Amino acid sequence: MSCKKWKKKLSSCLDNEVSYRERLKIEKHLKSCQACFNQFKQLDRLHRLVQSIPPEKPGPGFYERLSERLSQKKPILKKKLLGWRYVWQLSFPRVGKIAIAVSAVLLLSVSFYIWRSSISYEVNIKVFEEEYLRSQQMNSFAGELALPAFLEIK
């Protein structure tokens, strides 16, 4: 690979935006090529110098001046929320909302399960009772039919 191609990679290498394998290749080349090594050093210095310049900040009262300009404009809101929806939207952070929603779902699921199991228990008792009575009737009916026939055979 020519030095021109290696030099194009120096910037992303400086930003740590190359793969580990590619980084090793670049480092290997830099050890053997003084021109590329010097260029990499210069880019590194440039980066450090730019970083050393302290950030510029806006003057005090930035928001107040903005507010004045804002008073002439109105936002286009997604929707107007009223009543409980407004309270819901604004009262809890997202995590709180998720926790409330999960709790509500769990509570509903448990309530439903309890309700279902109590209903099915009652139904089972009723069915059992009906079955029992029916079997009793069947037994007595079979006894009535079988006994005379048995006596006749005897």
Please tell me the distance from the alpha carbon of residue 71 to that of residue 144, in angstroms, as a whole number.
Answer: 99
**Does position 98 bind another protein by CB under 8 A?**
no
Binding test (CB under 8 A) with another protein, winner from 3, 17, 100, 107: 17
**3 touching another protein, by CB under 8 A:** no
Retrieve residue 133's tokens.
């009575």
Task: Encode 82-101 in three state secondary structure.
Answer: CHHHHHHHHHCCHHHHHHHH
Determine, following the binding rule CB under 8 A, whether residue 5 of this chain makes contact with another protein. Answer: no
What is the contact mask toward another protein in residues 38 to 57, using x (rule: CB under 8 A)? -x--xx-xxxxxxxxxxxxx
Nearest to 40 by CA among 50, 51, 29: 29
Task: State yes or no: residue 144 binds another protein (CB under 8 A).
Answer: no
Q: Which residue in 3, 27, 28, 89 binds another protein (CB under 8 A)? A: 89
Residue 6 · residue 33 · CB < 8 Å = yes
> Is 81 near another protein (CB under 8 A)?
yes
Smaller CB separation from another protein, 90 or 149: 90
